[in-house]
Amino acid sequence: MKRNIRKLILILFTFVFISGCKQEEKSIAAVSGEYRSGEYTAWSIKMADSEMERRGNSLMYGGSDPDAKWEYTTGLFLKSLLDLWEVTGEVRYLEYVRDVIDSFVEENGQIKTYNLSDYNLDKINTGKVLLKLMRIYDSEKYKRSSEILREQLQKQPRTSEGGFWHKQRYPWQMWLDGIYMGSPFYAEFALIFNEPAAFDDVFNQIKIIDIHTRDPRTGLRYHGWDESNEQSWADPATGCSPHFWGRAMGWYSMALVDVLDFIPVQYANRDQILFILKDLLKAIKKYQDESGLWYQIVDMGGRPGNYLETSCSAMFVYSLAKAVNKGYIEQSYREVAVKGYQGLIENKAAIDENNRIHLNGICSVAGLGGDPYRDGSYEYYISEPVVANDLKGVGPFIMAGLQMDKHKPAVSD
């Protein structure tokens, strides 16, 4: 009964909000003739507006949060705002992105709080925003800063097979997360600046981690792989971490579907990337819960302490919806994405007294190794804090809504 009441309230909110969007449709359409208000995009708009209001200038270096740093969650959120700007034409999203980036990037292209010698793949993720702003504003400043990130990839430590270490302080380790952090930027940079040989390197990053982390029984991928087998979390035979962490596979699925935006159609190994994407999404589909969501440890839904986690669910919905839209997977996967999105709205979205929406149930952080040491055990993954409005959930939620509204049913539908 409670669930039905909650669902009715959310449906009513969506109707009211979409109606409000339609009142502004003329001004929006004047900027972008392609925009039409839709149920999913309405949620993306409301999520972005709510989060921008909550954050203020706290993401800016020297803003209300003096500890603001050049890091991947900021880049993820800003990328979602750029996607939203492209769909709606609302300039406030673009201006917010530029203000945050300009608080870090100096006129000579140097990036405040960034240290190349850390060789941290997480620091590459925001490079996608730099490349976008470079093209929008024809800016030499953003070009120089993106070249600094490209230099990091040139010097990044590698496994014996050529896979990027996740970070300098995590030697010989590849994590699924790192493919999202580095590969889409790398592929886009290669396309823009005509580095065809780089596509082979991008493909090798995907191939190496997929060979080592794919579980043949489930088709799921383990969070990380240690070539040296020195980490206590590494399986003695495979070097893999012991569990299938949802968000790690969420990062990986988004990486695959985004990389394909920049890999030329005629590239020899493009079909292999497509095969890996389809294989992963097939496995993810099998482990979707009846709620439409996915668990923190994906294959252990019934185990005590496990929970339905928001960020991985939003990432999977985004990846599934985009893969359907691009024709990479069968139209039937659209139903999986719809069920997943509805699960997010019904179970994880909340509306406060100020008409702002909140996204609950997000794993704050999870990793391997470090100090204090994270052993990759089941107990570890379920012990990390669960929070609301973490950008690792907010960004994919915004992007997922936009992909859901881009769907054009096939004739056979």
Q: What is the pLDDT of residues 323-368, one digit of tens each?
A: 999 999 999 999 999 999 999 999 999 999 999 999 999 999 999 9
pLDDT in tens, 203-216: 999 999 999 999 99
Structural domain spans, the chain: 40-405
Alpha-carbon torsion (378, 382, 385, 389), positive or negative = positive
195 burial class (0-12, 13-18, 19+ CB within 10 angstroms)? middle
pLDDT, position 412: 41
Tell me, yes or no, if 177 is annotated catalytic: yes
pLDDT in tens, 196-246: 999 999 999 999 999 999 999 999 999 999 999 999 999 999 999 999 999
Distance CA 339, CA 289 (A): 10
pLDDT, position 38: 78
What pTM was computed for the model?
Answer: 0.92
Which class is 40-405 in CATH?
mainly alpha
**Ramachandran category for residue 229: left, alpha or beta (phi over 0 → left; psi -120 to 50 → alpha):** left
Confidence of residue 293 (pLDDT cuts 50, 70, 90): very high
Confidence of residue 64 (pLDDT cuts 50, 70, 90): confident
- Mean pLDDT, the chain, integer: 92
Q: Which of 83, 177, 201, 226 is catalytic?
A: 177
